[in-house]
Amino acid sequence: MSRLVLFILLVFVYLCNSQYPPSPFGKPQDICPTGNNQPYKVDNFVGTPFILTPFTNVFTNPTILNASTKTCRPDGHCMFAYTIDIYDTTLRPFDQAVAECTKKGGTKFLTYNGLIPGPTLRVAAGHESIVRFNNKINKLFPQSFSPCNGSRRGRPISVHHHGSASIPPYDGWAEDETCYLETKEYVYPNNRPATNWYHDHALHITADNAYLGLAGLHLVTSKLQYGGCGEPWNLEDIEEKHLILQDKVLDANCQLFIDPEKARNISLYGDINLVSGIPFPRMPLEPKWYRFRILNAAVSRPWLLKIFNSKYEDISKTYCKIIASDGGYRITPIPFPDTGLLVGVAERYEFVCDFTTFANQILYLWNDKNNDWMQGVPYFCYSHLLSKLEIAPTTSDSPPQFNENMPMPIPERTITRVLNMSDYDTALQMANKGKFHRQMVFSQSNNKWMINGETWDSFKIAAADVGQNTWELWYFQTGGGWFHPVHVHLVDFYMIKREGSGGIRSFESMAAKDVLYLGASNKIYVLARFGPHKGDYMFHCHNLIHEDNDMMRAYRIIDSQNGINAGSAQPFILNGFAKIVYSNWLYADPMLNLTAAQPTVNMPTFNSAYKQKMLDMNIYRIFYPRNETDIPLNGFTNPWRSTWCPA
């Protein structure tokens, strides 16, 4: 070994062991690049061939995209309008953390409005949003894919507002795609507060499109200052940090590495941890309470979050509380778990932390590892590092305090109105007896990822008789060796029971979810009321490599009386309810021509008259009834009706 190589190795061992918190997951010389700009691998996954330097960039929240206009009804319910251009460009997010990248050209990305991650849309709960997405991808990623390879052309996109109870044509069906110089308009209900997000969902290229940059937050907020009806627990003025977690890997030209031959259709893992598009950021904070909104927008990697002090002791379990999950607020906050907060791909959690006693100290947002929960996940040199939290000596003001005992306002939780404890108890009794309504087996065979032995291409509809507004208990199962973050579109659900991996975890229990973490050899029972809309919706593994290789299928919601658990629709469906639980068959088809993408030049002018027309159509009447005759229903209350305050 030459003296130069030996010197580089010694320097890098020093860096991994002293300048930054050491990795407990392997010897530094085994998991770090050698500095010779040559490719290296960890567990056969390729790493960036350059030396990385964490904590050189300063964290900032993703950019907020303000609505261009607001259109309102006399009752104060409004629609906010946005326009987003999707185009390819070069950016330089890695220059500080990867010094070699300063010698290279900019990194190519697919972007929403030229940003990675995309701009954050922030809409008050109880108010709709209308978003026009214009496909302008042209120069850097010229390859065409079906259906954009004939009279239409370019790289297709499809946008899924993840966490939204959208009607099928606005849900981001994988085959409802937008080609180059086309526009697709989406209308979203925003019917309950939650940390939602939007990302690409184009058929068979979702992983590449999302990995190259197509993801962003869509926050539905109940804050008074943004037009909501008020936050619980004194959260109104507690400062928020919006953390989008991703991992990337660069090639020798500082371009995002994607296996061009698709030789590995298992997973994609990177050695550079991005927090809202920033590699391993420093996060200047004050000694006060903070609210963290966490989104896992990686392709494959789960994160096991903890907060360590400078002695690498876990302080999160003492000073942090989890307040929300995918579908919004918990009924009550719970302590941060001793085992860490496991966040699978596409899962979202919110937690608050009290840093008032950590003035002038350094903390670390840490990615821990649990081999039972995270089989086969590689840990590179700095995979354990997410962010360095630098707590200032003093605060600049008199900051608000988190108070979980504040009685008002009551958080808006749709799931507690449509699924009561009697439903939950009945489902739990079924699960304890090994009974369920449907079984979904996630497996791999012949390089295909399948659900019940079928794929999207072989047989799309896995459940064709789900009754509108009925509840069902679904049973998810996978074999040994693989874990799957499973996303069910449209609904929020409860995880009832897990067999394996220690059962339901504290942060999953009684939490509104739309992604379940199906660990290796796990069996999970899930309860959902399949409403309020009719039509076809996807469900799939959210490891995007698995999804693209074809672990995705769909279910169909039909009239309640034809569903397999028809009786559970009462009292949601009665003859007198026709005006509320409405027959929306016009919008049941996700490929509806009326709402399909069209050439941008043919789109109606996005003016006030057009937006008023879209608001008046009231396609989400189930959430936003127009008058008092829509609200009382033969003595019952419409459980889907959203609460709104004048925005």
Residues 73-105 pLDDT 10s: 999 999 999 999 999 999 999 999 999 999 999
Q: Tell me the average pLDDT across 545-556.
A: 96
Hey, which residues does 390 pair with through a beta bridge? 284, 362
Cβ of 183: how many Cβ atoms within 10 Å?
20
Most confident of 2-6, 141-145, 263-267, 514-518: 514-518
Distance from C-alpha of 64 to C-alpha of 293, rounded to nearest angstrom: 15
Please give the share of the chain, as a percent, with pLDDT higher than 90. Answer: 80
Closest to 113 (Cα-Cα) out of 130, 134, 128, 140: 134
Place of tokens 């509806």: 592
Kindly report, residue by residue over 462-484, the tens digit of the pLDDT: 999 999 999 999 999 998 789 99
Determine phi and psi for 518, rounding to 5 degrees. -90, 90
Among 36-45, 256-265, 598-607, the range with the most confident prediction by mean pLDDT is 598-607
Q: In this structure, what are the phi and psi dihedrals at residue 85, rounded to the nearest 5 degrees?
A: -95, 130
pLDDT above 90: residue 7: no
Does residue 616 contact residue 99 with C-beta atoms inside 8 Å?
A: no
Q: Among 554, 418, 33, 488, which Cα is nearest to 252's?
A: 33
CA–CA–CA angle 244, 232, 221 (5° rounding): 45
Q: Pick from 462, 543, 489, 603: which is nearest to 247 by CA?
A: 543
Interval 159-179 mean pLDDT: 98
For residues 327-344, give the mean pLDDT. Answer: 96
Task: Say yes or no to pLDDT of 530 above 60.
Answer: yes
Q: Are 83 and 126 in contact (CB under 8 A)?
A: no
3-state secondary structure of 48: coil
The pLDDT assigned to 163 comes to: 98
For position 28, what pLDDT does the model report?
53
- Structure confidence at residue 169 as a pLDDT band (50, 70, 90): very high
Instruction: Check pLDDT > 70 for residue 616.
Output: yes
Q: So what's the pLDDT on residue 641?
A: 87
Of 312-316, 410-414, 557-561, the poorest mean pLDDT is in 410-414
Residue 260: per-residue pLDDT = 58
Q: Which helix (H) or strand (E) covers residue 209, if one does?
A: helix 206-211
Domain boundaries, the chain: 237-391, 420-576
The average pLDDT across 593-612 equals 97
pLDDT-derived band at 39, boundaries 50, 70, 90: confident
* Separation in Å, CA 102 to CA 97, 114, 570: 10, 20, 63
- Identical fold for domains 237-391 and 420-576, yes or no, is yes
* Helix (H) or strand (E) segment spanning residue 602: none
Q: Are 141 and 88 in contact (CB under 8 A)?
A: yes
Residues 64, 84: Cα–Cα separation, whole Å: 12
Within 10 angstroms of residue 48's Cβ, the number of other Cβ atoms is: 27
What whole-number distance in Å separates Cα of residue 373 and Cα of residue 383? 16
Q: What is the pLDDT of residue 11?
A: 36
Residue 550 buriedness (CB in 10 A; 0-12 / 13-18 / 19+)? buried
Q: Give, for 14, the enclosing helix (H) or strand (E).
A: helix 3-14
Host H or E run for residue 431: helix 421-432
Show the tokens assigned to 455: 């794929």
Most confident of 529-543, 559-573, 631-645: 529-543
Under 8 Å between Cβ of 611 and 70: no
- Written as six digits, the tokens of 589 are 């088809």
pLDDT, the chain, mean: 91
Nearest Cα to 493, choosing from 384, 414, 440?
A: 414
User: In the block, which residue shows the tokens 């008199």?
Assistant: 398
pLDDT at 36: 72
| 207-253 confidence digits (pLDDT tens) | 999 999 999 999 999 999 999 999 999 999 999 999 999 999 999 99
Distinct helix (H) and strand (E) counts, the chain: 8, 37
pLDDT of amino acid 187: 98
The first and second tokens of residue 218, run together, are 């869509």
Q: Looking up tokens 């120069």, which residue turns up?
A: 139
The answer on pLDDT for 514 being more than 60 is yes
- Which string of b and e fits 502-533 if b means at least 16 CB within 10 Å? eebbebbebbbbbbbbbbbbbbbbbbbbbbbb
Whether 127 shows a pLDDT value over 80: the answer reads: yes
* CATH number of the 420-576 domain: 2.60.40.420
Q: Which of 403, 399, 395, 366 is closest to 285 using CA atoms?
A: 395
Class of the CATH-defined domain 237-391: mainly beta
* pLDDT in the model for residue 20: 65
Give kind and range of the element (H or E) at residue 120: strand 120-124
439 phi and psi angles, rounded to 5 deg:
-115, 135
CB 217 within 8 A of CB 194: no
- In this prediction, residue 636 has a pLDDT band, given cuts at 50, 70 and 90, of low
Query: Residue 136 and residue 86: Cα distance in Å, rounded?
Result: 6
pLDDT-wise least confident of 3-7, 31-35, 462-466, 591-595: 3-7
Assess whether pLDDT exceeds 60 at residue 16.
Answer: no
Give the pLDDT band of residue 583 (cuts 50, 70, 90).
low
Beta-bridge mates of residue 476: 440, 524
Q: Is the pLDDT of residue 362 over 90?
A: yes
pLDDT digits (tens, 9 = 90+) for 337-359: 999 999 999 999 999 999 999 99
Q: Look up tokens 């010694």; give the residue.
A: 10
Q: Find, among 416, 197, 170, the residue nearest to 295 by Cα.
A: 197
Q: Tokens for 160?
A: 């899924």
Contacts for 593 with CB less than 8 Å, ≥ 6 apart: none
Q: Regarding predicted confidence, which is higher, 516 or 46?
A: 516
Are 617 and 203 in contact by the 8 Å Cβ rule? The answer is no
Distance CA 537, CA 128 (A): 20
Supply the pLDDT for residue 635. Answer: 55
If you search the block for the tokens 């027309």, which residue do you land on?
A: 613
443 CB-near residues (< 8 Å, 6+ apart): 449, 450, 451, 453, 478, 479
Whole-number Å distance between alpha carbons of 259 and 417? 46
| Residues 502 and 460: beta-carbon distance below 8 Å | no
Buried b (16+ CB within 10 A) or exposed e, 583-597: ebeebbbbebeebeb
Can you give the pLDDT at residue 6? Answer: 34
**Residue 391 in contact with residue 327, Cβ under 8 Å?**
no
CA dist 35 and 21 (Å) reads 20
